[in-house]
Amino acid sequence: MDSSSYKDFITSRGYNYHYYFAPGQETKPTLLLLHGFPSLANDWHNQVTSLRAHGYGFIVPDMLGYGGTAKPTDANDYKQSLMVKDLIDILDAEKITRCVVIGHDWGSIVTARLANYYPDRFLGFGFLAVGYLPPNPAHTYEDTLELMRKSFGSERLGYQSFFAEPDGHILCEKNFDTFYSIVHPKDYGTIWPQALYSLGETRKWIERNVPVEIEPSIPEEEHAYKREQLKKSGLRAAMCWYTVSVKNLELEEIKQIPHSAYTIEKPVFLGLTEKDPLCPPAISKPSAEQFCKNVTIKVFDCGHWIFWEKRDELNKELAAWLETLGH
């Protein structure tokens, strides 16, 4: 993605967002692409290149805490209700009235809240790897861990607790190569259950500081760029996303979302990742089938990083789904 096509905008709450912008054909909507942890706007470049050929416009931000966007270190600034308003501010500034939002990982959570708070601003919603998670104001992080223990035999999300600890980002920055390799391992099925599932295990792996083999389907130049940018930005701000979840900081805001907004009436694309130990299709399908009234579900034979691992297949399926929206 051409660096000259990036813009900066200060939102109504005073935070700068750095984002890629490319106008599309008048008859096509703009695609708002939202990355997760630990990614950057550039991670979407394969989708941008492919789908631009179909005439779509793009807004692809470095999310709050990443890249060229502001990096506040107060976790309260990362509440979903605030971040979705940031994105609406950008759409307003660019005078975007016809938009489809697609998220990956934490970007899927933001996409879900955009659907809850601003359903009429979008023609459709896409979720990659992490499916649609409706608001659950009575459900704490501790409740989630207990549910995972009962259902799967381990906390499954224990790594989030470590990322939210005061020294989590310090240890990951110190032993960065180990951190990066655990997040992007070649052998998802072995490494993630061992290193991420149980409380306390991620800290042990990072402190041990023995990198594992990384995902080979991602080109080395992609890995190199991402490493460089993450080292430059640091991880403290990015890990605030986990602090919000682990510390249950936004339960009161979630309570304000009316139950009627839990259901998504607009078209939904759900791209599930068969070899993703953290987000298997069995977890994501039920809520999508319950709460998404017009859902297209595609299962990809890959791990978590679908926009790299299955870029051509994903681009083809997204293009086909986008054509069904009628624009």
Which CATH number covers residue 123?
Answer: 3.40.50.1820
Which pLDDT belongs to residue 327?
Answer: 62
Domain shared by 71 and 210, yes or no? no
Q: What are phi and psi of 59, to 5 degrees?
A: -130, 115
Question: Are 235 and 154 in the same domain?
Answer: yes
Instruction: Clarify whether residues 133 and 31 are in a common domain.
Output: yes
Model confidence band, residue 2 (pLDDT cutoffs 50, 70, 90): confident
Same domain, 152 and 63: no
**Domain-terminating residue out of 216, 246, 276:** 246
Query: pLDDT tens across 202-248, in order?
Result: 999 999 999 999 999 888 999 999 999 999 999 999 999 999 999 99
Q: What percent of the chain has pLDDT over 70?
A: 100
Question: Does residue 232 share a domain with residue 154?
Answer: yes
* pLDDT for residue 326: 72
| Sign of the four-CA dihedral 141, 143, 144, 146 | positive
Q: HEC string of 206-266?
A: HHHCCCCCECCCCCHHHHHHHHHHHHHHCCCCCCHHHHHHHCCCCHHHHHCCCHHHHCEEE
Domain span at 62: 3-138+250-323
What is the tally of structural domains in the chain? 2
Do 59 and 130 belong to one domain?
Answer: yes
For residue 24, the model assigns a pLDDT of 95
Kindly report, residue by residue over 35-48, the tens digit of the pLDDT: 999 999 999 999 99
Looking at the fold, whether 72 and 121 belong to one and the same domain comes out as yes
Specify whether 134 is located in the same domain as 147: no
Please compute the mean of the pLDDT values over residues 116-135 and round it to a whole number. 98
Q: What is the mean pLDDT of residues 280-300?
A: 95
| Together in a domain, 210 and 258 | no
Do residue 150 and residue 130 come from a single domain? Answer: no
- pLDDT of 3 reads 86
Do both 286 and 230 map to the same domain? Answer: no
Domain termination site, one of 218, 246, 274:
246
Q: Are residues 171 and 132 in the same domain?
A: no
Q: Report, as an integer, the average pLDDT of 73-87.
A: 98
